Amino acid sequence: MSVSRLSLALFALLGTAPIAAQAPTPDTSVAAAQRFLDAAERELAIKSVAVNRAGWVGENFITHDTELLNAEAQADFAAALKRLVDGARRFDGAALPPEVKRRFLLLKLQLAAPAPPDSSQAAELARLAAGLDADYGRGTYCKPAPGGKPACRNLDDLERVLADSRNPDSLLDAWVGWQTIGVPMRDRYTRFMALANAGARAMGFADAGAMWRAGYDMPPDSFVAVVDKLWLDVRPLYLQLHAYVRRRLVARYGTRLVPPTGMLPVQLTGNMWGQDWSNIADIAIPAAAGSASAVRGVDLTAILKARHVTPHDMVRMGERFYASLGFDSLPATFWERSLFVRPKDRDVVCHASAWYIDDPTDLRIKMCIEPTEDAFRTIHHELGHDFYFRAYKDQPFLYQGGADDGFHEAIGDAIALSVTPRYLVQIGLLDAEPPPAGDTLQLLRLALDHVAFLPFGITIDKWRWEVFAGKVAPGDYTRRWWELRGSYGGVMPPLPRGPTDFDPGAKYHVPGNVPYMRYFLAQVLEFQFYRSLCRVAGHTGPLYRCSFYGSKEAGQRLAAMLALGASRPWPDALETLTGQREMDATAFLDYFQPLMVWLQRQNRGAPVGW
Using one digit for the tens of pLDDT, what is the confidence trace for 129-166? 989 998 998 899 998 777 778 889 999 899 999 999 99
User: How far apart (Å, rounded) are the C-alpha atoms in residues 288 and 284?
Assistant: 12
| Candidate list 509, 553, 559, 563, residue with the active-site label | 509
> Is 385 annotated in the active site?
yes
Domain membership flag for residue 210: no
pLDDT value at residue 478: 97
Contact 192, 474 (CB under 8 A): no
Domain membership flag for residue 69: yes
Q: Is 142 helix (H, G, I), strand (E, B) or coil?
A: strand
pLDDT value at residue 464: 97
Q: Which residue has the higher pLDDT, 9 or 170?
A: 170
What's the rounded mean pLDDT across residues 373-389?
93
User: How far apart (Å, rounded) are the C-alpha atoms in residues 134 and 185?
Assistant: 11
Domain membership flag for residue 32: yes
User: How far apart (Å, rounded) are the C-alpha atoms in residues 49 and 192?
Assistant: 24
Domain membership flag for residue 16: yes
pLDDT value at residue 7: 34
Q: pLDDT tens digit string along 167-181?
A: 999 999 999 999 999
pLDDT value at residue 8: 29
CB atoms near residue 115 (< 10 Å): 31
Domain membership flag for residue 36: yes
| Residue 191 pLDDT class (50, 70, 90 cuts) | very high
| Candidate list 45, 159, 351, 469, residue with the active-site label | 351
| Candidate list 380, 381, 450, 539, residue with the active-site label | 381
Residue 424 in this model has a pLDDT that exceeds 90 = yes
| Candidate list 382, 392, 450, 585, residue with the active-site label | 382
pLDDT value at residue 288: 53
User: How far apart (Å, rounded) are the C-alpha atoms in residues 76 and 367?
Assistant: 27
| Candidate list 141, 238, 519, 549, residue with the active-site label | 519
> Is 43 annotated in the active site?
no
CB atoms near residue 336 (< 10 Å): 9
> Is 380 annotated in the active site?
no
> Is 408 annotated in the active site?
no
Residue 10 in this model has a pLDDT that exceeds 60 = no
pLDDT value at residue 507: 96
Give the CA-trace dihedral at 373, 376, 380, 383, to 10 degrees: 150
| Residue 14 pLDDT class (50, 70, 90 cuts) | very low
Q: What's the start-to-end Cα distance of the chain, in Å?
A: 56
| Candidate list 242, 380, 385, 450, residue with the active-site label | 385
> Is 423 annotated in the active site?
no
Closest listed residue to residue 217, CA positions, set 599, 585, 574? 574
Residues in the chain: 610
User: How far apart (Å, rounded) are the C-alpha atoms in residues 197 and 201?
Assistant: 6
| Residue 17 pLDDT class (50, 70, 90 cuts) | very low
Residue ranges making up the domain that contains 29? 5-110
Lowest mean pLDDT segment, chosen from 99-113, 252-266, 527-541: 99-113
Q: Point out which residues pair with 140 in neighbouring strands.
A: 154
Q: Point out which residues pair with 364 in neighbouring strands.
A: 355
Residue 290 in this model has a pLDDT that exceeds 50 = no
Q: pLDDT tens digit string along 47-78?
A: 999 999 999 999 989 888 988 898 899 888 88
Domain membership flag for residue 95: yes
Domain membership flag for residue 45: yes
Q: pLDDT tens digit string along 229-269?
A: 999 999 999 999 999 999 999 999 999 999 999 999 999 99
Please state the pTM of the whole predicted model: 0.85
What's the rounded mean pLDDT across residues 458-471?
97
| Candidate list 409, 530, 539, 554, residue with the active-site label | 409
Q: What total number of domains does the chain contain? A: 1
Domain membership flag for residue 38: yes
Residue 415 in this model has a pLDDT that exceeds 80 = yes
Closest listed residue to residue 209, CA positions, set 500, 451, 493, 516? 516
| Candidate list 352, 469, 559, 563, residue with the active-site label | 352
User: How far apart (Å, rounded) are the C-alpha atoms in residues 215 and 589?
Assistant: 27
pLDDT value at residue 482: 98
Residue 432 in this model has a pLDDT that exceeds 60 = yes
> Is 553 annotated in the active site?
no
pLDDT value at residue 291: 38
pLDDT value at residue 559: 97
Q: Is 144 helix (H, G, I), strand (E, B) or coil?
A: strand
